[in-house]
Amino acid sequence: MTFPQQRLGELGERALLQRIRDRIPAGDGVVVGVGDDAAAVELRGLAFVTADSLVEGVHFRRDLSPPRLLGRKALSVNLSDVAAMGGVSRYAIVSLCLPAGLEVAWVDSLFDGLLERAAEAGVSLVGGNLARAPETIVVDLTLLGEGSRPTLRSGARPGDVVAVTGSLGAAAEGVLLLGQGARLDEEGDLVATGIWTDSSADAVAACLRAQLDPRPPLALARAIAEHDLARAAIDLSDGLSSDLLEMCRRSAVAARVEGRAVPVCGAMASLEGARGGDSLARALHGGEDYELLLAVDPARFEELQELSFVWGVPITGIGEFFEGDPVVIVRDDAGEHPLAPHGHDHFPSPAGDGGGA
């Protein structure tokens, strides 16, 4: 017998591993799953592989992120990367660093979310690793996918449409809302609006969900890859201003964005409006949207919009790439001006842009 209130240090590593393994279903293509020296899996075509970590105190706070949602997000941020490459995600490997004082229930709940999200995405959990951490929880996930043609960041050409899926800025708004006392429970339901009144509850919940449980447009991404509709793609994790500049650098082109065309998230805009904030700035710089930024041949943009209707995910043309040194120009009411990237830097440099190496 074990009790969820138990701490990991009371349960022991072997029992915790067994507890996790017992929950993992058999998966399609999994020849050897968790529990041996390595997993062995079937893959067709090229293998796509990516890894991303969620570090306590940096990417999440234990008191703000319900562990079930954290488990979902650990997978989602990687699903987003494989989708942006035009791949189909198949297998996940999870490495956890866990303090001995952590409740077993927390780990159970993390795996509730991971396994549920994996089932939604058609991904099998095939292995991983468990290590004691002195204090800080680290959830590191490596995702394996498959595909035929990787869509790179470097394929944008002058004249291509700058396109984004979904709407932007809600996830960054979610960070602010958490700081203002708004909370979701394990199920993703709103349990506290913080400093906001109940009339804002729907908007608050939408932004918190965007932050704590992002849903990258996986089916649409797969359709775009199958129809070879993107010349270049990147997932919007650092923020449009950073990620578009990154695509420009890789593709050796410049980009011009129409400020009015940027799909600002309505829920975020209503809250920013109430606080007198700048919703366009949040959409441009916010980060963690896990939408796709695409470079699209203008001759095929209509085809792309048809897919958008089929899959129920908006795709918006927000500007175009043009010949020039890598730079992002925004055109708004004040005219044209270069957009400085304000994406997240884990080791901020005093110089601001982290350059210099």
**Quick check: helix, strand or coil at residue 90?**
strand
Which is nearer to a second copy, 203 or 253 (by Cβ)?
253
Q: How far is the CB of 116 from a second copy (least distance, A)?
A: 21
CB of 40 vs a second copy, minimal distance in Å:
4
Q: Dig out the tokens for 261 from the structure.
A: 């065309």
Q: Which is nearer to a second copy, 144 or 295 (by Cβ)?
A: 144
Q: How far is the CB of 333 from a second copy (least distance, A)?
A: 31
Of 91-110, which residues contact a second copy (CB under 8 A)?
91, 93-95, 97-98, 100
Please say whether the beta carbons of 218 and 279 come within 8 A.
no
Cβ proximity to a second copy, 90 vs 209, nearer residue? 90
Instruction: Give, as ranges, the residues between 42 and 101 that touch a second copy (CB under 8 A).
Output: 42-43, 46-53, 55-59, 80-82, 84-85, 87, 91, 93-95, 97-98, 100
Is 26 a binding residue for a second copy by CB under 8 A? The answer is: no
Nearer to a second copy, 103 or 332 (CB): 103
What are the phi and psi torsion angles at 91 (to 5°)? -135, 140
Q: Is 312 exposed, middle or buried (0-12, 13-18, 19+ CB in 10 A)?
A: exposed
Give the shortest CB-253-to-a second copy separation in angstroms. Answer: 16
Place of tokens 């680290």: 138
Answer yes or no: are the C-beta atoms of 100 and 110 closer than 8 Å.
no
Q: How far is the CB of 44 from a second copy (least distance, A)?
A: 10
Binding to a second copy in span 189-248, by CB under 8 A: 233-235
- Amino acid making up residue 247: M
Whichever of 66 and 145 has its CB closer to a second copy, that residue is 145
Residue with smaller CB distance to a second copy, 4 or 179? 4
Q: How far, in Å, CA of 160 to CA of 344, rounded?
A: 27
Per-position x/- string for 132-171, each x denoting binding to a second copy as judged by CB under 8 A, each - no binding:
xxxxx-x-x-xxxx-x--x-xxx-----------------
Q: Shortest approach of a second copy to residue 232 CB, angstroms?
A: 10
Give the type of residue at 72: R
Residue of 278, 280, 276, 274 lying closest to 200 (CA atoms): 274
For the chain, the distance separating the N- and C-terminal CA atoms, rounded to the nearest angstrom, is 55
The span from the CA of 262 to the CA of 280, in Å, is: 8
Q: How far is the CB of 223 from a second copy (least distance, A)?
A: 17
Question: Angle 356-81-205 (CA atoms, 0-180°, nearest 5)?
Answer: 105
Place of tokens 């987003």: 80
